[in-house]
Amino acid sequence: MFIDYFKTIPQFLLPKRALNRFAGWMANMRVIKVKNHLIRYFVGKYPVNMAEAMEPNPFNYASFNEFFIRRLRPEARPIATADVISPVDGSISEIGYLSDGQILQAKGHTYSVAALLGGDESYATAFRAGCFATLYLSPKDYHRVHMPMEGQLLEMIYIPGSLYSVQPRTARVIPNLFAKNERVVAIFSTQFGLMAMVLVGAAIVGSMGTVWHGDFVRGSKIQRFTYSADRIVLAKAMEMGYFKLGSTVIVLFANREQLQWFEHMHAGDAVQLGQALAHGTLATKTDHK
Beta bridge partners, 278, equal 84, 261
Task: Give the pLDDT score at 244.
Answer: 82
Distance of CA 257 to CAs 102, 118, 156, 261, Å? 17, 25, 25, 11
Distance CA(141)–CA(208), nearest Å, equals 15
Active site residues: 89, 146, 247
Task: Give the pLDDT score at 246.
Answer: 66
Distance of CA 209 to CAs 126, 160, 184, 240, 245, Å? 25, 14, 8, 9, 12
Task: Give the pLDDT score at 107.
Answer: 80
* pLDDT (tens digit per residue) in 79-104: 999 999 999 999 999 999 999 999 99
pLDDT less than 70: residues of the chain:
1-25, 203-206, 246, 282-289
- 62 DSSP assignment: S
